[in-house]
Structure 1
Amino acid sequence: MNEVIRKLPDLPEGYNELNDLLIKKIMKQNIKIFVLDDDPTGVQTVNNIPVLTVWDEESIRSAFLEKANLIYILTNSRGLKAKDAEHINSVIAERICNISLETGKAFKIISRSDSTLRGHYPLETETIRRVIEEKTDIRFDGEIIIPFFKEGGRYTVNDIHLVEDNGRLIPAGETEFAKDAAFGYENSDLKLWVEEKTLGKYKSDDVISISLDMIRNQGYDEIAKALLGAEKFQKIIVNAFDYMDIVIFTMGLMLAEEQGKNFLFRTAASFVKVRGGIKDKELLTKDELIKHNNKGGLVIVGSYVEKTTNQLYAAMELEYLKTVEVSVNKVISGEMQNEISRVSAIVENEIANGNTVLVYTSRNLVKVSQKISEENLEVSVKVSSALVDIVKSLNTAPSFIIAKGGITSSDIGTKGLGVKRALVAGQIKSGIPVWITDENSKFPEIPYIIFPGNVGNNQTLKEIIAELTT
């Protein structure tokens, strides 16, 4: 990693001053930014921001009236089949357009997805583009792709997207994430990745690259000039190794927008923070999160990626932590209900007695096909459904809940806890967000910690549990 850093162009100084200038510029705009988030981990860089898990017309109308200039809408589309993801994005985009025209309020949409390049791409942004261009006079010149996510160690250098792993930078296409059963890919070069994912519709040679040299040495006037050349939904990839790169790029982006250019965005969470003008906040503490509750906490681990499994085993070293395994084989067979009942009884008893309990799925990931397929996604959804039923069965409110994994945390939050609107309080660790559940949820106003499957080191889960329980 140090070798890569040494070869980068020098980073300009004055981050705080430039970021403050950008925030002032953003706050002068009367634009509502909607972030359509394909799983709940996308709030991992923001604070004091509302997140909606429903998208009826009244909820979206209320969102336009919110004081916050940025609103998250959790679609959970990464856990859905392609046709369902397309439908949800279409419905939300149409309602945003209709209410924008009704109220006269301008908007932008960011399609927030995985920093390791998994998700329904290009389906989702193509759907949003189609609906907006049908319903309004907006015509998109380009699609801006920014998977940079500093908090999770995701960087783009020389158009190659990199994933940090124990101090090493690995091309994304060589990681376990690229072998995802539902969203796998081969290319780490984002230009080639675009061509791969669009099945050749957008050629790598036609992709506009905003290089680190342009960002750090040429500045936002040159960035704006490059963006002004985009046409016909041309793909634009942004290299970034530091938040300063994103701030400089966003200054150039806004210059291009001021000259009439329109862009749609497919990004990870770091760009959302910058474009939303979100200021930094210190990591949250136990004293801020847990008040007047002496019951045990609940930790649920559903993600199967290797990083999660390592974190799970480390957390199990906490001697006071009660652990309960959910058998995946039983869940996907005829024994699902018996398994749910068995686990639920243990969890209820432990939490009521003030003990924190860790529920985890057996680590043998069941694949119904060796091919990348929606059938494999269905297995994950069925397992997540069992975890939801365990939460729904509880009568005692835990002092906190941690959910590990994208599909798991979305389903626990929306189906298990019945959250329709939450406040993103901030992060408990870098890249690990905390919701405060709304007053109408199953357990009102408790901290709900959304732990992405691909974030943190091997000790991070253990550290969070220890901090909240000691």
Structure 2
Amino acid sequence: MSIIERKVDEVLTSYEPINKEELTRLWNEVRPSFQHQIIVLDDDPTGVQTVHGVSVYTDWTKETIENGFLEKNQIFFILTNSRAFTEKETEIVHRDIAERVEEIAQAMNKPYLIISRGDSTLRGHYPLETEVMKEAVERNGNVEMDGEILLPFFKEGGRLTVDNIHYVQYNDTLVPAGETEFAKDRTFGYESSHLGEWIEEKTNGTYKKEEVTYITLESIRKLDIEAISEQLMNVSSFNKVVVNALEEEDVMVFSIALTLALNKGKRFMLRTAATFTKVIGGISTRPLLKRKDLIENNLRNGGLIIVGSHVQKTTAQLQELQTVDSLHFIEFDCHLVLNKAAFKHEVDRVRKEAEEKVAHGITTVIFTKRERLDLGEGMKEEELKLSVEISDAVTSIVRNFEVRPNYILAKGGITSSDVGTKGLCVKRATVAGQIAPGIPVWKTGEESTFSYIPYVIFPGNVGADTTLKEVVLELEQI
């Protein structure tokens, strides 16, 4: 069934606004009762695109998870980067994490909430990640998970859910997610825009759209907390809950109802985009970061920008960035990965040229060849493995870079994860905030390749065509 596009303004004005004063009162009344430790598993590093002042860990050892539980903050992130994993790797990692979290929570006698933070355009290892964790928690905790909540709303990226249909905003138009380029993803593609149908599609019919619990905007806008909480209380057998949302306040309303259900003993897995993590974590909104907030010592060196994502939006943003004359651009021919010797030579060439330019104060942009490497039908796993080799090569450029850049910016979810973990070798970073809506900045830890450097994580699918250029102009003070 084809779902029509809708105009953003028409949708936003078609619902009565929330009584914000009453919402604030309810939030202040209920939120203090929420004492769960929040563990966010991020399938790429863009999940911190709404938060600040929180820790991101890049491994999931028992010691790391214990450290997260012992923090003063109620919330911490673990970057798994599972969107770059095979299904088998994803299964192993999520089982390990869930078992360790359950063990630590029992030892500390601490309730917890696991959030599987996934892509707001619905790509990723779903339902595998949450199913594996559900089984591990139930087996090790001798408990039953009542349900799973899906909340992919992310206003900053233009991802809105209304009438149970998930939309992606393009300028002033909302396009059903199943009709966007993201739905055609070679690894994580899908057809459905209606989230109930999407669940049915992704679970191969195990969970039917008719059995899904839908939290409507009508009940949210009426602040019908009791009714929403009752809906959650009636969920069992790991059935699914879909939450509609057009504004962050809608997520707050749902979070109040969720808190009441959790306080009564209900247990849920969550698959959400970034907005929910901010709201449930009680994290305040802060102004966008400026250059002065990030770059304390004005090095004479230039910055280093890595562009890896191949979605159309990234290519359009790169083209806009190329109009900035003061930057130096290097194309990395990643298709040479099929010839090992030529590929190694290309990696060395790109790194040396970039080092020379950055050392002379010229910010340098390394971008991968824009055409995808296509091995043909039935070769998804092989293509994924080659993409890992390419990513490893890109991260080696950062790891072996002999000049300290003024800042580093990576474009693309998987690219930015690998640059952060394998290039910058970050074990724990602090989220400084956002430099543009949906674009987070880490301050790297002492152990990093470049300690305490501003690291801008720019998702592949966020922003207007000019946003990358605007961010770089801010960092360059041009």
Alignment TM-score > 0.5, same fold? yes
Q: Distance in 2 between matches of 1:28 and 1:218?
A: 19
Aligned-residue offset at 1:227: 1.0
Show the counterpart of 2:88.
83
CA deviations over 1:190-237 (Å, ceiling 9, x no partner): 000000000011011111111111211251111011111101001010
Per the alignment, do residues 151 and 166 of structure 1 end up closer, same or farther by CA in structure 2, a change over 3 Å counting?
Answer: same
Q: Distance in 1 between matches of 2:376 and 2:122?
A: 22
Q: CA RMSD in A?
A: 1.5
> Of the candidates 86, 108, 129, which is equivalent to residue 113 of structure 2?
108
Does the 8 Å contact 2:160/2:167 carry over to 1?
Answer: yes
Show the counterpart of 2:476.
469
Q: Distance in 1 between matches of 2:353 and 2:245?
A: 47
Aligned-residue offset at 1:21: 5.0
Show the counterpart of 2:212.
207
Aligned-residue offset at 1:382: 2.0
Q: Residue type matched to 1:333 in 2? A: N
Q: Residue type matched to 1:258 in 2? A: N
> Of the candidates 348, 365, 368, which is equivalent to residue 341 of structure 1?
348
Show the counterpart of 2:61.
56
Is residue 2:369 matched to residue 1:355? Answer: no
> Of the candidates 297, 301, 304, which is equivalent to residue 298 of structure 1?
304
1:16-165 correspondence to structure 2 within 5 Å: 18-19=23-24, 21-22=26-27, 25-165=30-170
Q: Distance in 1 between matches of 2:144 and 2:452?
A: 42
Q: Distance in 2 between matches of 1:348 and 1:70?
A: 38
1:201-240 correspondence to structure 2 within 5 Å: 201-217=206-222, 219-240=224-245
Q: Distance in 2 between matches of 1:117 and 1:130?
A: 22
Q: Distance in 2 between matches of 1:339 and 1:27?
A: 55
Q: Distance in 2 between matches of 1:428 and 1:33?
A: 25
**Unaligned regions of 5+ residues in structure 1, if any?**
none
Show the counterpart of 1:393.
400
Q: Distance in 2 between matches of 1:215 and 1:168?
A: 24
Does the 8 Å contact 1:290/1:447 carry over to 2?
Answer: yes
> Of the candidates 443, 459, 466, which is equivalent to residue 436 of structure 1?
443
**Unaligned regions of 5+ residues in structure 2, if any?**
1-6
Q: Residue type matched to 1:297 in 2? A: G
Aligned-residue offset at 1:379: 3.0
Residue range with higher mean Cα deviation, 134-143 or 194-203: 134-143
Does the 8 Å contact 1:145/1:235 carry over to 2?
Answer: yes
Aligned-residue offset at 1:466: 0.8
CA deviations over 1:348-392 (Å, ceiling 9, x no partner): 111111110000001111122335832332232222111111111
Does the 8 Å contact 2:12/2:246 carry over to 1?
Answer: no
Residue range with higher mean Cα deviation, 64-73 or 385-394: 385-394
CA deviations over 1:274-331 (Å, ceiling 9, x no partner): 1111110110110010111231100000000000000001001100100000002113
Q: Distance in 2 between matches of 1:203 and 1:2?
A: 29
Q: Residue type matched to 2:385 in 1? A: E
Does the 8 Å contact 2:300/2:360 carry over to 1?
Answer: no
Show the counterpart of 2:382.
375
Q: Distance in 2 between matches of 1:163 and 1:441?
A: 36
Show the counterpart of 2:269.
264
Does the 8 Å contact 2:337/2:386 carry over to 1?
Answer: no
Q: Distance in 2 between matches of 1:2 and 1:172?
A: 14
Q: Residue type matched to 1:341 in 2? A: D
Identity of aligned residues (%): 46
Q: Distance in 2 between matches of 1:108 and 1:369?
A: 41
Q: Distance in 2 between matches of 1:450 and 1:21?
A: 34
Aligned-residue offset at 1:25: 3.9
Aligned-residue offset at 1:26: 3.4
Secondary structure of the 1:170 match is strand
Does the 8 Å contact 1:331/1:382 carry over to 2?
Answer: yes
Show the counterpart of 1:451.
458
Q: Residue type matched to 2:190 in 1? A: Y
Is residue 2:23 matched to residue 1:14? Answer: no
Q: Residue type matched to 1:121 in 2? A: Y
Does the 8 Å contact 2:86/2:381 carry over to 1?
Answer: yes
> Of the candidates 430, 433, 440, which is equivalent to residue 426 of structure 1?
433
Q: Distance in 2 between matches of 1:162 and 1:319?
A: 36
Aligned-residue offset at 1:6: 5.8
Q: Residue type matched to 1:431 in 2? A: G
Is residue 2:259 matched to residue 1:254? Answer: yes
Aligned-residue offset at 1:24: 6.6
CA deviations over 1:115-148 (Å, ceiling 9, x no partner): 0000000000001101111111331111000000
Aligned-residue offset at 1:31: 2.0
Per the alignment, do residues 110 and 23 of structure 1 end up closer, same or farther by CA in structure 2, a change over 3 Å counting?
Answer: farther
Does the 8 Å contact 2:30/2:259 carry over to 1?
Answer: no
Q: Distance in 2 between matches of 1:354 and 1:27?
A: 50
Secondary structure of the 1:84 match is helix
Q: Distance in 1 between matches of 2:239 and 2:225?
A: 19
Aligned-residue offset at 1:29: 3.5
Q: Residue type matched to 2:404 in 1? A: A
Q: Distance in 2 between matches of 1:205 and 1:430?
A: 35
Q: Distance in 1 between matches of 2:353 and 2:193?
A: 44
Give structure 1 regions of 4+ aligned residues with deviation exceeding 4 angstroms.
Answer: none
Q: Distance in 2 between matches of 1:178 and 1:2?
A: 20
Is residue 2:347 matched to residue 1:318? Answer: no
Q: Residue type matched to 2:239 in 1? A: Q
Does the 8 Å contact 2:302/2:362 carry over to 1?
Answer: yes
Does the 8 Å contact 1:53/1:420 carry over to 2?
Answer: yes
Residue range with higher mean Cα deviation, 93-102 or 398-407: 93-102
Does the 8 Å contact 2:151/2:242 carry over to 1?
Answer: yes
Does the 8 Å contact 1:332/1:382 carry over to 2?
Answer: no
TM-score, L = length of structure 2: 0.95
